[in-house]
C-alpha cells in the first residue's frame, strides 16, 4: 500500500485523523511551551553594545527588562564602523526585536506537530517537530506533516516486524 500525502494543514488546536498504509494516523498541533528563541536575543536590565532600549521604543512596562540585547548571531554585528554595515545590522536587530516582542506578548508563538501511527488502539510509531513558528504557511505545515507521517509509519512497521524480546 502506498503512503498517501496529507493535503490539508493542521492548525493549532485542531487535529487530523486519517488511515494511511493501514495505520490510524493522528496529527495534532500544540503550543511549544519551552521554545529556544535565544537565536533572536534576550532581555536585560544592563545596557550592552547594540542594545535596543525598550523604554524608548514604547514597550517597557513596570517590572520588565529595559533592554533587548540582539544575539551575536544576528546577521551582522555593530563592530564594523562603516555606515552601510551599521544600517544593515540595525535593520536585522530591529526585525529580531519586533519578533521577540510579538513572542513576549503572545501575538506569535512556537508550536509542535505530533504524529502518531497506531493499529487496533496500540501506538506503534510517532514523530514530532518542535519550534514551528505559528505564522508558518500551510504549504510548509503540509510538507512537515507528510515527512512526520512517513517517519511514524516507518517506526510502526519496524515495531510490527521486530519480535518482542524476553529478558
User: Cell digits for 108?
Assistant: 506569535
pLDDT of 9 reads 78
Domain assignment present for residue 5? The answer is no
Q: Are residues 86 and 137 in the same domain?
A: no
Q: Are residues 90 and 139 in the same domain?
A: no
Q: Answer whether 0.85 is exceeded by the pTM.
A: no
CA 144 – CA 134 distance, rounded (Å): 14
CA 19 – CA 4 distance, rounded (Å): 9
pLDDT of 73 reads 57
Domain assignment present for residue 79? The answer is yes
Q: Are residues 93 and 48 in the same domain?
A: yes
Structural domain boundaries enclosing 57: 41-104
pLDDT of 79 reads 54
The pLDDT tens digits along the chain (167 residues) read 445 667 777 777 778 889 999 999 999 999 999 999 888 999 999 998 889 999 999 989 899 999 999 987 554 455 555 556 677 778 888 999 999 999 999 999 999 999 999 999 999 999 999 999 999 999 999 999 999 999 999 999 999 887 665 44
Look up residue 88 and give its DSSP letter: H
Amino acid at each position: 500500500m502506498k503512503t498517501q500525502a496529507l493535503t490539508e494543514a493542521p492548525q493549532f488546536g485542531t487535529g487530523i485523523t486519517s488511515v494511511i498504509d493501514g495505520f490510524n494516523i493522528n496529527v495534532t498541533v500544540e503550543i511549544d511551551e519551552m521554545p529556544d528563541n535565544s537565536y533572536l536575543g534576550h532581555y536585560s536590565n544592563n545596557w550592552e553594545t547594540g542594545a535596543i532600549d525598550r523604554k524608548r521604543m514604547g514597550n517597557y512596562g513596570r517590572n520588565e527588562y529595559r533592554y533587548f540585547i540582539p544575539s551575536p548571531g544576528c546577521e551582522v554585528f555593530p563592530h564594523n564602523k562603516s555606515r552601510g554595515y551599521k544600517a544593515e545590522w540595525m535593520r536585522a536587530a530591529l526585525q529580531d526585536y519586533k519578533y521577540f516582542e510579538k513572542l513576549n506578548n503572545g501575538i506569535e508563538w512556537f508550536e509542535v506537530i505530533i504524529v502518531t501511527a497506531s493499529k487496533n488502539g496500540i501506538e506503534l510509531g510517532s514523530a514530532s517537530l518542535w519550534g514551528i513558528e505559528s505564522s508558518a504557511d500551510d504549504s510548509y505545515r503540509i510538507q512537515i506533516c507528510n515527512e512526520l507521517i512517513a517517519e511514524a509509519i516507518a517506526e510502526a512497521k519496524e515495531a510490527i516486524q521486530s519480535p518482542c524480546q524476553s529478558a
